[in-house]
Structure 1
Amino acid sequence: MPIVPQQLVILDRDGVINQDSDAYIKSLEEWIPYPSAIEAIARLSQAGFTVAVATNQSGIARGYYDEAVLAAMHARLNTLVEAAGGHIAHIAYCPHGPDDTCSCRKPLPGLLIEIQKQLGLSTLAGSWMVGDSLRDLQAGEACGCRVVLVKTGKGDKTNEKGIGLSNALIHTDLAEFADELLKLRAY
């Protein structure tokens, strides 16, 4: 069955799916998922939504961890989601630092465009982008996504600033957003 943009949910990782840290998530042991987020991804998948992840991982450029450690984190994520009955269609990540000149680091839309190409979509307009920071929302808006701020991770601080959030839906966490999205779909 072809993927339609309205049924694509793109998630930031740190702060949305798992706990975040100002000191970076540098090891598999530090990667601690929110159980409600894993279940939310599974429920979205089971309801016919395609779920993808777009994550900045500048800790690689900073030398805090390498791509093998990141791959182990993403393998654990996929294992947990699949054990809950869900599926992540693609994980796009930017390994660059903020001073590197790349097109993938959010708020630029490169990671989302990678997801679009990987999934064979002609557009991302109407898709959902869920994040805990303004840069997540900016990347989503650049691609025509509907944007959602969750208050987990850095989301509370982002919400308190209120800058650039006029188009964003705001939810307590990914589970609450999934509940609302699934209710909307029922109508």
Structure 2
Amino acid sequence: MTFHSLWVVDTVLLVHANLRWYPGSVNHAQCAKSSAWGGSPLRSRYRHLQSGVTPEDSHVYVMYHGTSKQIAVKIQRNGFKLSKDGTLGAGVYLSRDIRKVIKYPIGADDSDRMVLKVKVDVGKVKIIDVQGHDRKYDWHTHGYDTAWVPPGVGMVNSNQEEDCVYDPKRITMLTMLKVSTMKM
């Protein structure tokens, strides 16, 4: 993972890899219309799909990953690594619902929590929507790149949606946000 430069702005670390940045004091809706800023704001460059909407194969979506400051720096330097276990087996666990990921890591103070905003090329998506699904742990060995648990199906403790991406190369970090400074 190569980054051109890093900026810390208003407690948000932006990873600059040919992306545009707009100051926090600027109205993003105005930026999108203004030629002075040269294009649309970072937040609208990738599709934000609501958490209850089924993801489509071969699309790129914005997702979030909650972690500690220490691990966030490691991810920034070395990229994501697969979790060995979890609801859907091995993979990188993400969610399109930021309210879910701000709770991670469980038991940590908000001052140590970070949210990584990422873009994900989901590839081929397997929907896992019932307990005991026959592909719950081995979906990636059957040609799927991402597994998705819809919200409200009782498979995840939070009852919120969850995505698991098997190949970390499908994930590109966009920003790092401090949970302690986020307003929800």
TM-score, normalised by the number of residues in structure 2: 0.23
Give the structure with the higher percent helix: 1
| Bigger Cα Rg | 2
TM-score, normalised by the number of residues in structure 1: 0.23
